[in-house]
Structures are given as C-alpha cells and as structure tokens.
Chain A
C-alpha cells in the first residue's frame, strides 16, 4: 500500500473552496512535489494530511492509517515542517533539537546518525539562539527537528520559501539523501524550477490539481510551441504580443517574454516586421524548450 493516499479531498473556509476534490497517491521513497502559487491550497492539503485539519469530505491514509480515526498513530510516524520555520526563537539550536527529540521520546544522541548529514552544518552554532540564525540555517534546524524521530513520511510545506538560492540547492540535495533512506517526502513549493527535482509533481491551482506526472512527462506532453521574445521595450512588448492574432498567449518570464504561437499563421519574419512597425528595436525571437512554468501557465488557462 502506498504511504500517502488521498481520495477526493474537499475543504472550504466559509464560502471559499480551498480544496475542490484532490486525489493522488505517493509511493514509498518518492519525492512528490505540490507545485502552485500562493493561495492555491497547498497548506490546507498539508494540514489535512498531517492530521491538523479535518477535510469536509474525502478520505486520506498515511501508511495505511486513516487521518481522522488513527490520527494518533500518524503523529508517531510523520515528520512535519510547517510553512514558517516553527522553531523556538529564544531557545538555542541545541535546546530546540533536544526538545523535539524528547517530544518523540528519543534523544539527539540516540538518533544522531539520522540527522548527522544536515545537523553537522549547524552544529558549530549549537549555542546560538534559533532566532539569530540565517534563513538557510533555520531551515536546516527545522528539518533536523522534523527528522529526529525517524519518520517514515515527511511533510514539508514550502521549506525553501525565504531561503537563499545556495541553501535551496543544498536543501534539495538533502532531500535526495533522505529519499535514498526510504523516506517518503511530500514537499510543496511556489518555485516552478524546483519541480524538476521531484520524482513526480502535482500542479495545483485554486484548489484543484491540473496534472500529476513526472516533470519530464509534463513538459513532453506540452503540445504548444514556445518562443521567447525580447525587445528594447519589454512591458510594451508584452501588450503588443498579446494583441497579435498569430500569438495565443504571452507571459512575462524573468527577463524575457514567453509566447505560445498559432502554428498555422506564425511566421517569424512577419512578426518581427509587425513589432518593428510598433516601434520595437533589438527584437529577438527564439524557439525554446518549454519549462514546467510554461506548462503550468498553459494548463491554468484552461
């Protein structure tokens, strides 16, 4: 049986439907990413799966335990890292991890091997108050605290939000290591570029999954041609592109614009001419490989 099973989970806050029927399964030792913007329902889903919230309908099982009936059993076996690093800011690194270890009736000494890879990065600062740590170090400490009791399933709700790029990279490296130990990891992130680091991802938008697949398949399934477009006046370019009938969609994408095109009518030279006549200079149009974000934008449109 798969360690995480969710069937048609629905949850509303008053009139707002946060989750509109979510179903998915995660197999053992998999890194499963929930990718979507803020407010898509990621945190609600995590709270339901980690027994913190009750769903309005639907059912979910963690390692075969029901999230409602067997919540006590689930709380023994999962590690949970909420969106904000939930550490005691006024306690030192050492005191934090010791406290969380004792909470699970274990000790840092006993399970040191489990967290060693991660904890040794912050061990030199063990006397420092958690509040005085950098974002990356807080994240490592929070992960160590979530791992100290040898959980079989790990819930990480936006663990890389507010963390510098180097620490984010390190963090994903650590997740791979944990996966190698057979820990099932459910991780959410608003960063599309992190999707490719998961085994499988679910794209979530306004409480519904748009697609669940491996990152490669999601990109391969994408049937549109993607071009990048640049000129000397980027904001105007985006508006002008959207007004051209040969172009189906246009999005700002970092320092460029990504466009999907109508293959029947699209002609690079004609488009360049049209843009020139609208006053654009230094126009560069390039065919590119779609990314997860392009797929997300396309799927979210439907």
Chain B
C-alpha cells in the first residue's frame, strides 16, 4: 500500500511540474467550453438583411419592421432600388439575406390570395443560409397570421416546438460534447503519454525489475488522471450551468455515475494505447488520430450520426464518446429517468471490461 501511495504521489509530482500538462488540464477545458459554447455556435444572431421592395406598401413595410424587431436580424440600409444594387451589397458581404417583394405585393395577396416574396441567401455557406431562411420565413408567417388570422379555411400551418431546448441554444449541444472531448483528451491521451514516457526514458525497465506488481503501476498511473478528470467535469458543469445557463434537468447521481463510467472507459483506452505505443510521439499520434478525431466527428457531438454514410455510422458504434454524448444529452438536457439510458450505460460498462481485459493482457511483465 505504501508502495502504491508513493507511486501515486510521484505521478502527481510529474503532472504539477510540467507546465504544458498543467496548461492542458486546467486551461483547456475552460477554453473549449468558451469556444464551443460561444464562438463555434450554430445559432445565428444579429444578421444584417437587405430589402428590395418593388411594392413599398403597408404589408411589405410591416414585414420588414417585424424582421427588424427580432433578435436575429438587423436592418441598417435604406433598401435597394434595383436588383444590381442588391446583389452588389450581397457580394460585399454587407448582408446575410435579402428580401425581394414583388410589385403590388399587398394587392396581390388580398385579391388573388397569393403574393411572392423572394428570399435570397448565400448558398456558399448552406447551413447558415438554411437557418437564416428558416428564421426569416417563420417570422414572416407569424406576421401574416397575426395580420390575417383566417386566410382560408383549409390551410394547415405547422407549429414547430423544439422540446428540451426551445431556443435551440448551441451550448445545450456543446456541453455534452465538450465533456466528451475533454475527458477523452485528458484521460486517454495523457495516460498513454505518461506511461510511454516511462518506456522511452528507460524508467519502465527499472520499475519492471522491482517487486512492484504491474497492476499497481497501472493503478498509480491512472489515479491522478481520474481525479483530475472528475474535477474537470465538475468545473465544466459549474461553467455550463451557472454561466451559460444550461439546465441540469436529470438526476445528479446518475449523471455522476455516467461521467465516471466514461472517464474509466477513456482511461482504459489510454492504457491500451500505451501498451501498443513505444514512444510518446506515437502515443500522441494514436490518441489524436484514432481517438480524438472520431470522438469529435463521429460521436454525434458535432454532426448528426443519422446523416452519416452507413460505414461511418457503423464505426461510430465503437466510439465510447458516441454513447456518452447520447446518454448525457438524454439525462442532463432532457432530464429522462435512468431507465432510458440503461442501454448506453451497459455499452460503456462492456467497453470498460473489454478494454481493461485486453490492456492487462497486453501490459507486459517484461519488455517485449
């Protein structure tokens, strides 16, 4: 026991004395939270829009005013006189979308029941364009309904409601994702690097030619990163809840259990990498390429898994982050009961068992 404690103490010393390690474990989670919570967001706010109004009647002006008053759009110019002017300001990047009202807009609507608005958006950034168009058309529809509650008896107007995240806040999505990435980074990468460092520096030889059991070496190597990860998760939760206003709807106990399961999976992955890699650089590359990239791109934290080709969907099944992100979204944001995430939990536990078994088998009593 004394052996183990002194070993763990030594591991903490390694971490505290390395500036870069400290930077990664302290600054990185906070930077990533801010980055993904605020900067890299799919929400669109304060977009400039332009108007080319051939009609200039009350209705078209009303629509423009309605758009102006929404938080998504800003109207700063006086309207264009012709199409060339409109396109010119588009090319300059002055505006995100342009509304074009046809001539006799209001009359057409009242007399024929049909009037045309053209919405021009920049298709070179399809995601933003789509979002802007959706926002704009829903604002226009709402306005028209207010003006004219029952235009035709049989019209069906879908009313869309986004459950659990009614304002479609990006941070609701990014928090589970950031936890998924940070833990993968700290646990898997740092553990793998710290074990391979011993191999590279030759200290592993001395450790092996000593009475200490390999399992103690492993426990001692993993313990500090486990502790640090738990602290990091707490920090992330505090930032996301109190600063970004992300709700924690579910049961805190099960959220904790879920996070701990994911931390253990990541540690086991790091351990596995360290049994394969012989140098720190290789360990870094493997954890970066094989662990981090899939965790970011294939876990569903950035891109929906449903949209991926089947082969990537298939691969995403073996990525722990996928199951963690799915489960944490359900339990934290949706606030479901634990029985809805049993599936994910079982998969994570299975992964732990398999990874630990392989690592222990591969962790050698000898050099080769």
Contact = CB atoms under 8 A, between A and B. Distances in A.
A90 B17 contact: yes
Nearest to A79: B209
A7 B201 CA distance: 31
Contact of B205 (A71, A82, A100, A104): A82
B152 to A, nearest CB: 77
B330 to A, nearest CB: 43
11 contacts: A52-B366, A54-B368, A72-B211, A75-B211, A82-B205, A86-B206, A90-B14, A102-B2, A103-B207, A103-B212, A145-B206
B126 interface: no
Nearest to B208: A52
A88 B205 CA distance: 13
B350 to A, nearest CB: 32
A99 B367 CA distance: 21
B112 interface: no
Interface size class of B (residues with CB under 8 A): 20 to 34
Interface in B4-20: 6-7, 10, 13-14, 17-18
Nearest to A102: B6
A91 interface: yes
A102 B7 CA distance: 8
A89 interface: yes
Contacts of B2: 102, 105
A77 to B, nearest CB: 9
A47 interface: yes
Interface string B245-270: 00000000000000000000000000
Nearest to A85: B202
A88 B201 CA distance: 8
B3 A103 contact: yes
A47 B364 CA distance: 14
B127 interface: no
Contacts of B317: none
A76 interface: yes
B247 to A, nearest CB: 43
B210 A99 contact: no
Interface string A244-285: 000000000000000000000000000000000000000000
A50 interface: yes
Contacts, number: 81
Nearest to B9: A99
B67 to A, nearest CB: 60
Given A86-B201, A86-B205, A145-B206, 19 more contacts: A47-B367, A51-B208, A52-B209, A71-B366, A75-B209, A80-B206, A81-B206, A82-B206, A84-B201, A85-B202, A86-B202, A87-B203, A88-B201, A91-B14, A95-B10, A100-B206, A102-B7, A103-B7, A104-B210
B167 interface: no
Interface of A: 47, 50-54, 71-72, 75-76, 78, 80-91, 95, 98-100, 102-105, 145-146
A76 B366 contact: no
A88 B10 contact: yes
Contacts of B13: 90-91, 95
B84 interface: no
B3 A82 contact: no
B24 to A, nearest CB: 16
B196 to A, nearest CB: 15
B12 to A, nearest CB: 11
A278 B211 CA distance: 65
Contacts of A103: 3, 6-7, 207, 210-212
Contacts of A145: 206
Nearest to B207: A103
B78 to A, nearest CB: 66
A86 B210 CA distance: 13
A88 B209 contact: no
Nearest to A80: B209
Contacts of A99: 6-7, 10
A86 B209 CA distance: 12
A104 B211 contact: yes
Given A52-B367, A71-B365, A75-B211, A98 B205 contact: no
Contacts of A75: 208-211
B202 A83 contact: yes
Contacts of A80: 205-206, 209
